[in-house]
């Protein structure tokens, strides 16, 4: 059995699921997902129910006590939280494999990319306005998703201050060199700031609105043919799920203020860092 301890928000849980799912396929084994509800004093709800994921769910107290304590002690002593790629994870097998980490690299699951993309299909198809937006983006050959994360990133010591207006200016310029007719579909937790600040001219549609759920926005991002992402696992997945084999993906050259070495493997080699 492959047991994955889910933690963090939507993008983090998707990385953790993808790693565990790939390992379960590699080992022809059962996948179980631990629905942790708390991280410190922050409520973290199970965020994957809206996708067609595989595997059973498991309460935290159902996890073998030794596996849970050993993983916690090992992380505390080694300060290794399994953020980047560790090839030893691919070799794990046995009666019970307990995965507790972040696993933020496609190297964990690139051999099963088709299965992972299928698992992250919507359980309930888009309806109404969301369906119209998805149709518009998917059928626009010049569609570029652009994600801006502000909110908690404005003051975040690790991830804040990295992706600036200047980054988006460079990214937009780079895209326009290859795609002069680029149409930007903007997603953000501060869409008003984007309207005023981003250098997009008239070739932009500001998609985010309160009626759209986070997972809906992610799938809408994936409908674009090209992508500009922030240093955020949320927009990482919006770009990675896009199935255009010739997609241009622009990512920031720096991902973290405090632990940059943890993220050496987060950006696929085919993406462009600016």
- Residue ending a domain, among 98, 119, 140, is 119
201 pairs with which residues across the strands? none
pLDDT digits (tens, 9 = 90+) for 33-91: 997 654 544 456 788 999 999 999 888 888 877 677 767 777 767 677 889 999 999 99
Q: Are both 269 and 199 inside the same structural domain?
A: yes
Q: Are both 139 and 114 inside the same structural domain?
A: no
Q: How many folded domains does the chain comprise?
A: 2
Q: Are both 192 and 264 inside the same structural domain?
A: yes
Q: Are both 151 and 268 inside the same structural domain?
A: yes
Q: Are both 268 and 132 inside the same structural domain?
A: yes
Q: Are both 104 and 154 inside the same structural domain?
A: no
pLDDT digits (tens, 9 = 90+) for 77-95: 767 788 999 999 999 888 8
What is residue 76's predicted lDDT score, i.e. its pLDDT? 66
Q: Are both 203 and 73 inside the same structural domain?
A: no
Q: Are both 53 and 106 inside the same structural domain?
A: yes
pLDDT digits (tens, 9 = 90+) for 104-155: 999 999 999 999 999 999 999 999 999 999 999 999 999 999 999 999 999 9
- Residue ending a domain, among 119, 136, 158, is 119
Q: Are both 179 and 108 inside the same structural domain?
A: no
CATH number of the domain that residue 89 is part of: 3.40.50
Order of strands across the sheet with 183-188?
204-206, 183-188, 143-148, 226-228, 249-251, 272-273
The domain of 87 spans 2-119
For the chain, the distance separating the N- and C-terminal CA atoms, rounded to the nearest angstrom, is 41
Order of strands across the sheet with 97-99?
56-58, 31-35, 2-6, 97-99
- Residue ending a domain, among 89, 119, 149, is 119
Q: Are both 166 and 47 inside the same structural domain?
A: no
pLDDT digits (tens, 9 = 90+) for 159-174: 999 999 999 999 999 9
Q: Are both 132 and 254 inside the same structural domain?
A: yes
Return the DSSP state at 153: G
| pTM confidence score | 0.95
Distance CA 229, CA 186 (A): 10
Selection from 211, 243, 6 nearest residue 129 by Cα = 211
Task: Please give the average per-residue pLDDT across 203-224, as a whole number.
Answer: 97
Q: Are both 10 and 108 inside the same structural domain?
A: yes
């Amino acid at each position: 059995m492959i047991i994955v301890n889910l933690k963090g928000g939507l993008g983090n849980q998707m990385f953790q699921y993808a790693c565990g799912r790939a390992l379960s396929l590699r080992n022809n084994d059962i996948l179980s997902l631990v629905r942790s509800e708390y991280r410190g004093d922050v409520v973290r709800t199970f965020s994957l129910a809206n996708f067609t994921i595989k595997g059973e769910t498991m309460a935290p107290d159902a996890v073998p006590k030794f596996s849970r304590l050993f993983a916690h002690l090992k992380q505390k002593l080694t300060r290794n939280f399994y953020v980047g790629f560790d090839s030893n994870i691919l070799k794990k097998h046995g009666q019970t494999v307990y995965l507790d980490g972040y696993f933020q690299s496609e190297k964990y699951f690139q051999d099963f990319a088709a299965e992972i993309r299928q698992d992250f299909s919507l359980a309930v198809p888009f309806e109404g306005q969301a369906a119209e937006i998805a149709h518009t983006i998917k059928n626009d050959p010049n569609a570029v998703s652009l994600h801006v994360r502000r909110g908690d990133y404005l003051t975040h010591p690790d991830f804040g201050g990295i992706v600036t207006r200047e980054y988006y200016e460079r990214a937009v310029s780079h895209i326009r060199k290859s795609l002069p007719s680029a149409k930007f579909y903007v997603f953000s937790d501060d869409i008003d700031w984007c309207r005023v600040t981003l250098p997009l001219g008239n070739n932009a549609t500001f998609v985010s609105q309160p009626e759209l759920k986070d997972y809906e926005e992610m799938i809408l991002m994936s409908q674009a043919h090209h992508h500009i992402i922030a240093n955020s696992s949320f927009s990482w997945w919006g770009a990675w799920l896009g199935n255009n084999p010739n997609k241009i993906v622009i990512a920031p050259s720096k991902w973290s203020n405090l632990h940059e070495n943890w993220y050496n493997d987060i950006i696929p080699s085919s993406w462009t860092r600016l």
